[in-house]
Amino acid sequence: MIEVKNLTKRYGDHLAVSNLSFTIEPGHIYGFLGPNGAGKSTTMNIMTGCLAASDGQVLIGGYDIFEEPMEAKKLIGYLPEMPPLYLDQTPREYLYFVASAKGIKKADRLDEIEKVIHETHIEEVADRLIKQLSKGYRQRVGIAQALLGNPQLIILDEPTVGLDPMQIIEIRDLIKELGQNHTVILSSHILPEVEAICEKVLIIHQGELIAFDKPENLQKTLSSGAIIELICETSADKAKDYLKNLSGIEEIEAKEESEANEEIEAKEESEKKEKTQGIKEGGESSCHLFLHVDGDSIDAICRDIFFTFAEKKVAILKMNPQKADLEDIYIELTNSDDVSSMQTNASDKTKDSTFFKKNSHSKDSSGKDAAKDPSTQGKEEA
C-alpha cells in the first residue's frame, strides 16, 4: 500500500526526518507516535504530497507521490490536525465543493456525498452551517471529506484533539468502522486511544523510526518486562526462598518492611487494621515484593505463586500482575539514551517481528548536504 524509502527532510541545517523507511500493508489501522518535534507531521505531509522531501521516495499503491502525484493522491484521504473547513457552508455544500476539487464525476457526486454523510453519521447536521456545529461534528465533517472518492488509504492527524470524552469515544468508534474498508494511519498523543484502536504502531523519535510492530510484540522487548506486585504475611527472605524455584521469575525486589506494612494498613478498612497491622509469622513482618517475570507466562506464574504460598500456609494480601502498556513502551523507547542498542537486540528479528532502527545518516554518501545536491532540488521545488 505504502512504501517509504530513505525519506529525508531538512530545513536548512535542521534534520527533521532522517533516512526513514517503512512499509504499510493494506487492511490495518496503524498508530503513528512520537514526541513533539519528532517528525510525525512532516512525514505525514510528505506522504500526502503536501510537502516536498529533501531525499527519498514515497510510493502510494505503486505510484510515486513526487513523480505521479495525481494518481497517488487519488488513493489518499487526509485529515490534517486542523480540519480544512469552510465555516459558512453546510457540510453538504462543503462536501460538494471537495468532491468537485477531487475530480469526482458530476453524475456521481451526490451519491458519493450521501455515502460519506452516512458513513460518518452526520445526517442530522448535514444542512446546518459548519460554524454552528460542535467540535466533534466538525471532526466528522473533516473525516467525511477525507472519505470522498473512496480512497484506499485514510491518514488522520490528531483526529480527537480538543474533543470531550464522549466525542472521543464516538470518533474512536468511527475510526474502527473505517478500518474495516480502508487502511488507516492515525497520529495521536493519546496513547490509550492508539492502543485501543490500532493493530500496529510506528514510533518515530528525532526523525528516525525506532519501533514498528504490534503493541503486544513491543511489550516483549521492554527491559522492564512484566511485574507482579506481591504482599504476603512472611518475611522477605522467606518469601524469596519460596519463590526461588518457580520458573519465569527473573528478579525479585523487596520494599522495606515498614513501607510494606504502612501500605497494607492504609488499604485495609478501619475494622480490619487491628487484625492485619503488625501481623507476623514467627515474629516476622509482612513483606512487599516486586517480581520481574516473563510477560508471556504471567498468568501461570501467578497461579504457581498462589499454590506455593497456600502450601506454606502463608496468606497473600495482594497479588497484582502488571503488563507493560503502550505508554510504558513509548516512554522507554523515546527516553532511551542509546536507541542503537535496541537495534542490536532486534537485528535477528524477522520481517513480521519487532523492528528497531537507529541511523546516523544526515549527509549523503559524498558527505554533501542532500538538500543542496542538484539531484534532489526538483523534489524541494515541487
Domains of the chain: which residue ranges? 2-75+151-221+326-381, 226-322
Q: How far is CA 2 from CA 9, 48, 304, in A?
A: 18, 11, 46
Residue 42 has pLDDT above 50, yes or no: yes
User: For 293-307, what is the mean pLDDT?
Assistant: 88
Answer with the residue of higher pLDDT: 85 or 36.
Answer: 85
Residue 357 has pLDDT above 70, yes or no: no
Q: Which CATH class is domain 2-75+151-221+326-381?
A: alpha beta
Q: How far is CA 147 from CA 18, 81, 102, 171, in A?
A: 31, 16, 11, 14
Tens digit of each residue's pLDDT (9 = 90 or more) over 308-356: 999 999 999 999 998 777 777 777 777 754 444 444 343 333 344 344 4
What is the predicted pLDDT for the residue at 214?
85
User: For 143-160, what is the mean pLDDT?
Assistant: 92
Tens digit of each residue's pLDDT (9 = 90 or more) over 173-217: 989 988 888 999 999 877 888 888 899 999 888 889 888 988 777
Cα first-last separation, the chain: 23
Residue 380 has pLDDT above 50, yes or no: no
Q: Tell me which residue of 209, 182, 152, 147 sits closest to 339, measured CA to CA.
A: 209
The architecture (CATH level 2) of 226-322 comes to 2-Layer Sandwich (3.30)
Q: Give 17's pLDDT tier (boundaries 50, 70, 90).
A: very high
State the Cα angle at 302 between 298 and 304, rounded to 5°: 115
DSSP string across 91-153: HHHHHHHHHHHTT--HHHHHHHHHHHHHHTT-GGGTTS-GGGS-HHHHHHHHHHHHHTT--SE
What is the predicted pLDDT for the residue at 272?
52
User: For 149-164, what is the mean pLDDT?
Assistant: 89
What is the predicted pLDDT for the residue at 224?
54
pLDDT, the chain, mean: 80
